[in-house]
Each structure stands twice: as C-alpha cells, then as structure tokens.
Amino acid sequence: MDLISTIKGSLLEGFLPVGWDLKKIDEICSNPPEAITERQSWWHPEFEPVPCEDLAEFDVKMGHEIASVIANARREGRQQILILPVGPMGMYKWAVYFLTEWGIGCDHVWGFNMDEWSDAEGNTLPPTNPGAFQNAMETAFYGPLGSLTVPPNQRFFATKSVLPEYPERISELRKNGAQLAVIFGIGRVCHIAFWEPHFAAEFSSEADWRAQTHRIGARLHPLTIEQNAITSFKSRTTLVPAFANTIGPGLFLGADRIIGGADGALGRGMQWQGMSLWMTLRYGPDPWVPSSYMPTQPGRLFFLRELAGPLTPECH
C-alpha cells in the first residue's frame, strides 16, 4: 500500500504535476545511495555531482566554486554574468571570504537575481522587506563584499519592469565576450528559479518550452509554497506569496557553467529534497521536471550525501 496504489479518489489526485511518471519516480528513488553519482548518458561530459558530508563542507565548496568563477573571469580579462538564487544561501558568506582573501574586485561582474516574490500582476515586495530576495542578496553577498562589491548599476532584480530586460542585457554582454554562470537550487517539485513543472502543459513542443526566458506573476505550485514556508518562513504559510516573477529555461539552460546546490536536510534524519535530487539526476530531460535539464550543462551540483538516502521510512 503506497501513494501509487491509493491515489485514485484521494485529495492528491490531480495535485501532483500531471506529467510526472510516479512509477518511474519511485523506481529512481529506490536506487542505493552509492549509485547517485553514476554517470547517465544525457549528462554533459563536464557535469559533475559532488557529494558533501555536512552543511559546512557544502557551503565552503559551493562558495569556493562561485568565487573561482569570478576570479577566473578577472584573470582572463572578461566580464562575468551570474544568475543568482536566494536559496541555498550559506555559500555566499564563503564566496565573500575567498574573494576578500584573494583581493578580487567584482566590477567585472553582472548579477541577475533569478526570481522574486510577487502578486498575480507581478508587483513585488519592497526591496527592504525582510522576505524580499533583493534584501537577502544585498545582506548576504553584495553588502559584505564592501569595496570589492559588484557595482549597484550591475545588479538586477526580478521586478515587473526589470525582469523583461534580462534577455537583451545578457545577450548583449555575451556578444561582448562575457560568460554566463547559473547558480541554482532545486525545488521540491524540481523547479529551477520559480519555473514550475505545471508550465509544461502550456506548450505544444519542447522547443517552445525551452525558448521561454521569463514569466511575470507565475502561479506557484502548492508544494513550492510549503517548501518555502518550511525553509524560509519558519512554517508560517500565511506569509508566503502565491506568485513570483522568474526567469525561464531560455536563460537557465544557456549557461557556460552551472553551480548547483541541494542542501535540503532538516535534522534528526528528516529531509525534503532527496526525491528532487534523484529526479534531477535520473529522470532524463523532461519539461515536467525542469531541473532534469541541468545535468545536460557543464558544471557541478553540490549536494549533502544524506539526501541520496536510502529514501525509506523512519520513525521520529
């Protein structure tokens, strides 16, 4: 007796993304933990999953990766575009640490936040609101860099007016030699940024889906809202907006390098991200599983080893 055998007639029927193959997902999640890094045919030759033993190691390694991308661009004399998430977050203090230790200024960096909370019309929280992603980035990354920081006019946030400018701005920078690094986390329903799986139903072809650069006032999946209630709002679901502005696959699938992170462990053996991690690595590219495309790009995905499982029941 499990979800697959009992879902018919339940409140979950039609709740999960309709394009998900639940039997396939269950089989993927039944793999032994040590198999999670086994290479798949659709992975990019330069994609690498990197297990981390604990959160401290995860934060340091991911922060070092971000700082190295910035430092390498500096040494090579080119501009560097970063698409930036708010979640995971612990890597930013280490990126700041390494850049400060190395004395690497960031005036060659262009930062584009990948998403922001909104209402249905795309209106966003004030930048100083504690829940605003702009506030989080200024506090965690741009501010602590001090005199080495990214110039304010090279920081872009996913507001109703600025987000539609991302494609042209990024395209122009790349024409002039800039490279694009996409830094990301993985959502409970396998979104990248807030590009949700149910958007797949709107497109007649994968090519049309891949061409989408952004969305204003995107309708979020209920599991996305609950994920954020748990991870960012201390369980207070009533504070989580039901919509967001977000980049789309037309931007997050065009990276020169990706830097991903999965740190969704909660303590006492509890976690929320193991299934999402396995789906990302093993489902195979599918618009109903947006994160499944990330291994097709060069770069690294850092993850807490405990997320690999085994994904079996425990009593707490």
Helix axes 22-29, 274-282, angle to 10 degrees: 100
Q: Give the amino acid at 13.
A: E
User: Is the overall model pTM greater than 0.85, yes or no?
Assistant: yes
pLDDT of residue 42: 98
Residue 149 has pLDDT above 80, yes or no: yes
Residue 3 resides in a domain? no
The mean predicted confidence, pLDDT, of the chain is: 97
Rounded to an integer, the average pLDDT of 252-273 is 97
Question: Tens digit of pLDDT for each residue in 156-174?
Answer: 999 999 999 999 999 999 9
Residue 271 within any structural domain of the chain: yes
CA distances from 68 to 60, 61, 94 (A): 12, 10, 11
Mean pLDDT of 232-251: 97
Asked if residue 250 is part of any domain, the answer here is yes
pLDDT above 80 (res 291): yes
- pLDDT of 235 above 80: yes
pLDDT tens per residue, range 130-146? 999 999 999 999 999 99
What per-residue confidence (pLDDT) applies to 8?
97
Please tell me whether residue 286 adopts helix, strand or coil conformation: strand
> d(Cα 295, Cα 82) in Å, to the nearest integer?
18
Higher-pLDDT residue of 314, 178? 178
Q: Please report whether residue 42 resides in a domain.
A: no
Residue 195 in any domain: the answer is: yes
Domain that holds residue 60: 20-25+47-306
- Could you tell me if residue 311 is inside a domain? no
Q: Residue 314 pLDDT > 90, yes or no? A: no
Whether the link from the prior residue into 88 is cis, omega within 30° of 0, is yes
Count of domains observed in the chain: 1
Computed over its alpha carbons, how large is the radius of gyration of the chain?
19
Q: Which two tokens stand for residue 67?
A: 């700082």
Mean of pLDDT values over 232-243? 96
Does residue 7 belong to any structural domain of this protein? Answer: no
Q: What is the mean pLDDT of residues 297-308?
A: 98
**DSSP codes of every residue in 178-217:** -EEEEEEE--TT--BTTB-GGGGGG-SSHHHHHT--EEEE
Q: Residue 214: what pLDDT?
A: 98
Residue 52 lies in a domain: yes
User: What's the pLDDT at 316?
Assistant: 63
What spatial distance separates the first Cα and last Cα of the chain, rounded to whole Å?
Answer: 21
CATH number (domain holding residue 251): 3.40.50.1360
Q: Under a CB-based contact definition with an 8 Å cutoff, are residues 92 and 140 in contact?
A: yes
